[in-house]
Amino acid sequence: MFPTAKRTVALAALACASVFAASHRNGPLLLEDQTANLNDLYVFRSYEAGRSDRVVMSMSVQGFQNPDNGPSYYKFSDSVLYRFNVNNARGLDGNPDLQIDLVFQTQLRPNPTFVSYFGTLKGIDDPGIFLYQTYVVVIRNLKTNQATFIYNDAKGHPLSVAPPNLGPKSTPAYEATLGQPSVFTLANGMRVFAGPRDDAFYFDSGATFDTLNFRTPAPVLAGSADTGPGAAAPAAVDGFAGYNISLIALEVPINMLTADGSVPTDPKSPNAKIGVWASTHRQIVTVRPSPQDPINYGNYVQVDRVGNPLTVEALIPLPMKDYWNRSEPANDQQFAKFIGDPFFASGILNGVFGLKVPPAPRNDILGVFVPDITRVDLTIPPTPVANQNRLGPLAGDNAGWPFGGRRPIDDVVDIGFRALAGVLVPGYGNAPNNQLGDGVNQNDVPLLDHFPFHAAPHAGYKHSQVEGTNGRGLLTGN
């Protein structure tokens, strides 16, 4: 390849990278409402040993949490309704058939201190947890108009939020003492978790947003740079390393999610696939009678949503992002002109840099993003942890995004790069289209092989963003 051609390919890949640059800050209005700001949605058949007959759904909110940001730390909002939407009928049209809501309540326990947590926390009921949050799970069957409210686990314990990981003195052995005990089994067979965790999203955001100032060997990966763990810092830096998110995770038996209550085995069955998206909602009126606490009135209205990764960041124009966040997946056809002819593919990759990409309409992209729901083929068996591939179906691991849902390991940035370049369309899957990537190939710390699958949150006392890069991070305080 001639030098000029090499530069053209690199520039094209960089432009592609700018498209799939998720930042967890996905709309102007949500910059002012971080407790309702959804970051990522994960939906997949569980690969925990002995639990493959279940689906895991988790949403992360309020990204870029600094673990040492005391004394109040981060919390779920009492005025936000956090919702999982499940579509299991009508060929997955973007209308919900089942909704699972979580509503939180904060109790500020009487204490003379200025902190939210004090002393060594010996368990999730420790009296040193002064900021104590509980929640109710509400399961709504929209076909039968029935609702079930669950306040306690199967043993009668209130559903409580895991406290933050303060450090080795306040929260020693965090995961054993506070993390896993905050996983609750419900009487209906579900499991649920709410609390801080490591952010499983990984991406060299700093290089991308510095006007596409990528670090070698990105953006065209080859050899071990593509198949291995990726380059270490400073050659690749995970901009999300060392930061936490607030995670809500559910584990639900498959037969609770299908339209007919079955566990499908035939991929041609009308019940073989479900679609899932997450949304956050607030009541339509908020009154602030200062100095009294705010008062909320009226019906709940949607303020944010997330289905597939990178949709609003990559495919929706900036002036429309807030409108997109408030709209319903069933109405996503109104955005098809942007999604089916993405500007960065047709206008930049092809029009400016000459990279060969499929012509519009891009039915390969429309089939995934309209409606914008994460689709899960329930007949695809989960891939054991040891055999999972970050590139999912692009590397023969169909249990990953976009065919088998989305797992924490899935490198949705690199998959997205390559999908936009057309690798799923016959004739467009050659180099460099199938080599695009940001150079960060795995999470900063190891993921769990069991529910809730996200690693324990980083500890404030040992917070390190620099050392927590590209799979070589420190397990802090666990």
Written as one string, the DSSP assignment of 179-244 is: IGGG-EE-TTS-EEEEEEEE------HHHHHTTS-PPTTTTB--THHHHSSBPPTTTS--TTTT-E
- In a domain? residue 12: yes
Q: DSSP label at 440? A: B
- In a domain? residue 319: no
Same domain, 175 and 259: yes
Print the domain residue range for 356: 1-28+210-237+331-370+409-442
What pLDDT was estimated at residue 8? 36
Cα separation, 131 vs 166, whole angstroms: 14
pLDDT digits (tens), the chain, 478 positions: 323 333 333 333 333 333 444 557 778 888 899 999 999 999 999 999 999 999 999 999 999 999 989 898 999 999 999 999 999 999 999 999 999 999 999 999 999 999 999 999 999 999 999 999 999 999 999 999 999 999 999 999 999 999 999 999 999 999 999 999 999 999 999 999 999 999 999 999 888 778 778 889 888 899 999 998 888 777 888 889 889 999 999 999 999 999 999 999 999 999 999 999 999 999 999 999 999 999 999 999 999 999 999 898 878 988 999 999 999 999 999 999 999 998 777 765 666 556 788 999 999 999 999 999 999 999 999 999 999 999 999 999 999 999 999 999 999 999 988 998 899 999 999 988 899 899 999 998 999 999 999 999 999 887 766 555 555 666 665 6
Same domain, 195 and 58: yes
Q: By three-state DSSP, how is residue 314 classified?
A: helix
Same domain, 111 and 9: no
Same domain, 271 and 214: no
Which phi and psi angles does 350 have, rounded to 5°? -90, -50
Q: Residue with structure tokens 């201190």?
A: 113
Which phi and psi angles does 356 have, rounded to 5°? -75, 115
Same domain, 165 and 222: no
How far from 95 is each of 85, 140, 142, 335, 360, CA to CA, in Å?
Answer: 9, 14, 10, 16, 27
What 220-229 contacts at long range (C-beta under 8 Å, 24+ apart), as own/partner pairs, is 220/9, 220/10, 220/13, 220/431, 220/432, 220/435, 220/436, 220/437, 221/414, 221/435, 221/436, 221/437, 221/439, 222/435, 225/437, 225/439, 226/435, 226/437, 226/441, 228/441, 229/441, 229/442, 229/470, 229/471
Residue 247 contacts residue 193 (beta carbons within 8 Å):
yes
Same domain, 426 and 339: yes
- In a domain? residue 325: no
What lies within 8 Å, CB to CB, of 367 at 6+ separation is none
- In a domain? residue 313: no
Tokens, residue 234: 């400073």
Q: DSSP label at 467? A: S
Same domain, 70 and 186: yes
Instruction: Give the closest residue to 443 by CA, choosing from 434, 459, 455.
Output: 455
- In a domain? residue 438: yes
How confident is the model over 119-165, as pLDDT tens digits?
999 999 999 999 999 999 999 999 999 999 999 999 999 999 999 99
Same domain, 343 and 438: yes
- In a domain? residue 315: no
Same domain, 266 and 359: no
- In a domain? residue 323: no
What pLDDT was estimated at residue 14? 35
CA 171 to chain centre: 26
What pLDDT was estimated at residue 461? 86
- In a domain? residue 274: yes
Same domain, 144 and 62: yes
Number of domains in the chain: 2
Element (H, E) at 46: none
Q: What is the DSSP string of 261-295?
A: S-----TTSTTSEEEEEEEEEEEEEEE--TTSPPE
Same domain, 38 and 76: yes
Same domain, 385 and 450: yes
Specify burial of residue 294 (Cβ count, 10 A radius: 0-12, 13-18, 19+).
Answer: exposed
What pLDDT was estimated at residue 18? 38
What pLDDT was estimated at residue 21? 40
Tokens, residue 468: 């927590």
Tokens, residue 203: 């991406």
Element (H, E) at 125: none
Instruction: Give the closest residue to 450 by CA, choosing from 191, 241, 177, 253.
Output: 191
